[in-house]
Chains A and B, each alone.
Chain A
C-alpha cells in the first residue's frame, strides 16, 4: 500500500464523524437522482413489452403529432409569459423603488398570490374568465361594449388566458426579487448621474440594467426553466385532456399522460424518451446560466430550483 492511501485512510479514520452528517442526502441523491435518471435513460430504449429497441422511441416521439404540439404550446406559452412577466416586473419594481412611502404595504399585496396554489387560482379564474356574460371579466368588457369572449374554452385564446392567470400569480414574486436587487444599487450612482445631467432613461440603461445584470439573468433563466415544466395550471384547467383542441397540452402533461394516465394508452418508453429530451433542454439552459453569470458556483446550482410557473 502506498504512502498516500495510508494517509488518506488515516484522515478518513480521524474525521469519520463527519460522514453521518451528510449520509442521508447522499443516499437520497443516489436513490432519487442517480438511479432514476439512469433508469429513465434505459426505459427510453425499451418498448412497453420490455424489449430493447434502441433509439426507436425517439423516432416515434418526434413523429408524434401530439408531442410536436406539446412542444409548440410549451414554448409559445413560455415565451409569451417570460416576455410579458419580466419586463413588467422590472418596471413595477422600479416604480416601487422610487416611491417614498408604502413600499412594505405594496410588497405584501404583491406577494399575496403566493399563498394561493395554482390549482385554486385555476378554479377561481375559471369563473372570473367564465365564457358566459356573467363572468367578471366579460361583464367588465361589456361595460365598454365588447362582446363576451370564450377565454379558457376558446382554442384561439385559451393559451393566452392561461398566461394572464400565470402572470397574475407570478409577477409579485418577480417584482420582489427585482426590487431586492434594486435596493443593492447605491443611490450615489443615481445622484452622480443626476449631477452629470442624465435623464431617467439614461439612468435606467446605464446604471440600473448593468447593476441588475446578474439578478435579471437569474430571473430570466429560472423563469425559462420553470415554464418548460408547466403542468399544474394546465392540468387544473383542462385535466389530462389538454383541451380545448390540444391547445393546453404541455410537455410535462404529455409525459404524465404517457406514464400515468388512466384514460389514455400508456407507453412508459415514449414518456421516458420525452423526459430525456426535456432533461437535455433544461440542462442546456442551465449551462447558459453557468456561462453567463459571473459567480459560477452559485449560479450553476440554481438552475433547477423549484419555482412556480411564470
Chain B
C-alpha cells in the first residue's frame, strides 16, 4: 500500500523540480533585463527628488553626482515659491484642468449616448463630421484658432485655454459611443414607456452605468490638460495666467546657455508633478486600463 502511494508523489516532486529548473533559465534573464529597465526609468526621479531637497549654494553641480541629499533642506522649494510664482501657475493649471474635466464629463457622455441610442436624421453624417476632428491635427490650424479665440475675447482667459479642446474632443465622444453601444437598448425603451424624457433617461439610467468610461476619460483628460504646452503658450501671454507647463518652459528657456540652479529646477519639477502623481496613485488601475482600451479595443 505504502509503496503504491509513494510512487505518484515521487513523480510529482520530480516534475516540479524539473519545472523549477527549467523556468529560471530564461525567466531570470527576463527579470534581470526588466529590473534594469525599471532602474533606468526610476533613476531620474530619484535624482530629481534628491536634488530638490539638497541645498547647494553654487550654480555648479556637485561632483560626484549625489542621489542622497548631503545638506538636507527645503530651501530650494522656498526659493522656487517666492521667485517663480509657481503656486500661481499651479492654481491656474488646476482651474484649467477642473474646467476641462467638467466640460468633458458633461458633453462627451451626452453626445456618445445620443450617437449610440438615438435615432435621428443625419446621425451618421454628424458623427463623421465630428470625428473629422481626429483627422486634422490641432497643430496645423494654430493661428486660425487663435484668431477665433481672440475675436471671442477669450485670449488670456481660462475658458480660452479650455474651449477649443473640449468642444472638439472627438476621441472621447467616440469612446463614449463605443461604451454606450455595449449597454442594452431595452433600458431606453423601458424609460420611454414610463414617459421619461430623453434627458432624464440619460441622467438616471445610462449615466450611472457609464462610471468606468467616465473614470477613464477623466484620467486621460487631466493628463492631457496638465501636460499641454503649445496651446496655453499661444493663448496666454500674461505671467499671472500661465499654466504650469508654460511657466516651466519659460524657466527653462529664458536663460538658454546659462546654467540653471539644479536644486531649484528639480524643486519646480517636483511641484509640477505632485498633483498628477496623486491622480496616478489613486487612479492607477484606470490609467493602465485606459491605455489598454484606447489602443486595443478592436
Whether a CB of chain B sits under 8 angstroms from the CB of A275 is: yes
Neighbouring A residues of B82 by C-beta, 8 Å:
none
Whether a CB of chain A sits under 8 angstroms from the CB of B130 is: yes
Chain A proximity of B125: nearest CB distance (Å) = 11
* Chain A residue nearest in CB terms to B129: A29
* Dominant secondary structure of chain B at its interface with chain A: helix
Pair A40/B134 contact, Cβ less than 8 Å? no
Contact partner of A40 among B62, B144, B223, B245, CB < 8 A?
A: B144
A-contacting 9-mer, from B4-12, B68-76, B169-177, B208-216: B169-177
* Chain B residue nearest in CB terms to A138: B65
Whether a CB of chain B sits under 8 angstroms from the CB of A201 is: no
Pair B145/A32 contact, Cβ less than 8 Å? yes
Pair A99/B27 contact, Cβ less than 8 Å? yes
Alpha-carbon distance A238/B257, docked complex (angstroms) = 9
Task: List residues of A (105-161) whose CB comes within 8 Å of B's CBs.
Answer: 106-128, 130, 132-136, 139
Contact partner of B288 among A11, A111, A229, A236, CB < 8 A?
A: A111
Alpha-carbon distance A16/B294, docked complex (angstroms) = 32
B positions within 8 Å CB-CB of A: 23, 26-27, 30-31, 33-34, 37-38, 40-45, 47-48, 51, 60-65, 107, 110-111, 113-115, 118-121, 123, 126, 129-148, 163-164, 166-171, 173-174, 197-198, 202, 223-224, 226-227, 229-230, 234, 244-245, 248-249, 251-254, 256, 260, 262, 265-266, 268-269, 272-273, 276-277, 279-280, 284, 287-288, 291-292, 294-298
Pair B167/A24 contact, Cβ less than 8 Å? yes
Pair B144/A43 contact, Cβ less than 8 Å? yes
Most chain B beta-carbon contacts within 10 A, residue among A31, A200, A259: A31
* Known pairs A33-B132, A301-B170; A22 contacts B139 (CB<8 A): no
B-contacting 9-mer, from A55-63, A76-84, A168-176: A168-176
Neighbouring A residues of B164 by C-beta, 8 Å:
28, 32
Whether a CB of chain B sits under 8 angstroms from the CB of A265 is: no
Alpha-carbon distance A121/B273, docked complex (angstroms) = 10
Pair B230/A180 contact, Cβ less than 8 Å? no
Pair B288/A117 contact, Cβ less than 8 Å? no
Contact partner of B42 among A19, A109, A124, CB < 8 A?
A: A109
Pair B294/A305 contact, Cβ less than 8 Å? yes
Pair A25/B291 contact, Cβ less than 8 Å? no
Neighbouring B residues of A43 by C-beta, 8 Å:
143-144
* Known pairs A21-B114, A119-B245, A176-B291; A112 contacts B141 (CB<8 A): no
Neighbouring A residues of B30 by C-beta, 8 Å:
95, 98-99
Pair A29/B252 contact, Cβ less than 8 Å? no
Pair A120/B62 contact, Cβ less than 8 Å? no
Whether a CB of chain B sits under 8 angstroms from the CB of A249 is: no
Contact partner of B113 among A21, A102, A139, A176, CB < 8 A?
A: A21
Pair A238/B253 contact, Cβ less than 8 Å? yes
Chain B proximity of A221: nearest CB distance (Å) = 12
Pair A301/B135 contact, Cβ less than 8 Å? yes
Whether a CB of chain B sits under 8 angstroms from the CB of A210 is: no
Pair A286/B167 contact, Cβ less than 8 Å? no
B-contacting 9-mer, from A46-54, A187-195, A211-219: A211-219
Pair B291/A124 contact, Cβ less than 8 Å? no
* Known pairs A134-B60, A176-B292; A260 contacts B168 (CB<8 A): no
